[in-house]
Amino acid sequence: MAQVQLNHIEKIYEGGFNAAKDINLHVNDKEFVVFVGPSGCGKSTLLRMIAGLEEITSGELIIGDNDVSSTPAKNRGIAMVFQNYALYPHMTVFQNMAFGLKIKKVNKKEIYKRVMAAAEILELEDLMDKRPGQMSGGQRQRVAIGRAIVRRPKVFLFDEPLSNLDAKLRGQMRVEIAKLHNKLDATMIYVTHDQVEAMTLGDRIAVLNDGRLEQFDTPMSLYNKPVNLFVARFMGSPPMNLIEGQISRQEGSLRFKNTSGNLEFDIPEGLEKQLAENIDKPVVMGVRSERVSDKRDNESIPFQGTITTVELLGNEQIITVMGLSDVIISRVSTKKIYTQGDSVELFMDVSSFYFFDKESELRII
């Protein structure tokens, strides 16, 4: 397998549209890295440049120890799994998986050995004589992955491979892909717009937005230490609650007051030093939904609101509350079932607050 390095990668299309803006990241050998972001952020373009399906405008792409920036796709040592499977409908599973090796004139004995080894890993042995039209979406995707495995590439690339599957199959295939990574001990780069998929699969995640790399880190670091408002909003389901306001000094201590003036509290002593440079500047306070509770504790700030929506998820419910002139989302237990229109008192955990500079959108704390 191999490491992948992107050094100052740019992609500018005719007409001046910049789809990738000075991207720098390093995928380690045998690492599973996920590119995630909203539609149009440049993640698939970046993957296609690694694959050699898009030309790089400027920058350096290294796979292993070789600069492959101008190397044809077929010589890069990569294999790509597409969203739409791209299987030949008239061929059997065996023939689909063997086709790339046959084109390369690999001998029949070696082809059979590789195909059957991949079929065993993916539990496709009983489907080798079937055609794509006779199989489920999950089975077809496993065949597409098997076709990549038999090539023994340096790097596996996945372009939203699960987006055509229903929710149950997506969950199953996520598990299968994670198991496959462990079995093959391979370098994998995976593109998705689904941040839950990214969190569950990636060793590290590259969060992209408008052609820029916002943050590249482990799933839990992205969730717990977002570098800016975009990452804070994007990573996490439900998204982080964000409340605009200002920090001021009153009677020797720092206080936060939201824009509408109906939420005000003292900044904990441990955070005062970090926020001192933001006094009288507009800031955004953030708190995760699981830190907004219907139970009071010593570190909590109360507020009143009216429930606008309730999502029951079995052992918990997600309630959306109109309060503080902001919509606040809370993840609470189902010991008490809430309904739309209920008045509720909720409590925000002060110790888990984030603060962002409103102008730069960078995290202060």
Mean pLDDT value across residues 159-165: 87
326-333: strand order across its sheet: 292-293, 343-349, 300-312, 316-323, 326-333
Q: How far from the centroid of its chain's Cα atoms is residue 21's Cα?
A: 19
Cα Rg of the chain (Å, integer): 25
CA distances from 235 to 49, 198, 217 (A): 25, 9, 12
> Quick one: pLDDT at residue 84?
83
Distance (Å, whole) CA 260 – CA 355 = 17
Helix-helix angle 108-121:167-184, to 10 degrees = 120
Q: Which two tokens stand for residue 71?
A: 């190397």
Q: What is the pLDDT of residues 292-326, one digit of tens each?
A: 999 988 778 999 999 999 999 999 999 999 987 67
> What pLDDT score does 7 carry?
98
Per-residue pLDDT tens for 176-191? 889 889 988 899 999 9
Q: From the centroid of its chain, how far is CA 3?
A: 20
Tokens of 273: 């030093």
Taken in order of first residue, the domains within the chain and their CATH numbers are 4-234 (3.40.50.300), 241-357 (2.40.50.140)
Whole-prediction pTM: 0.91
- Token pair, residue 310, equals 């309730």
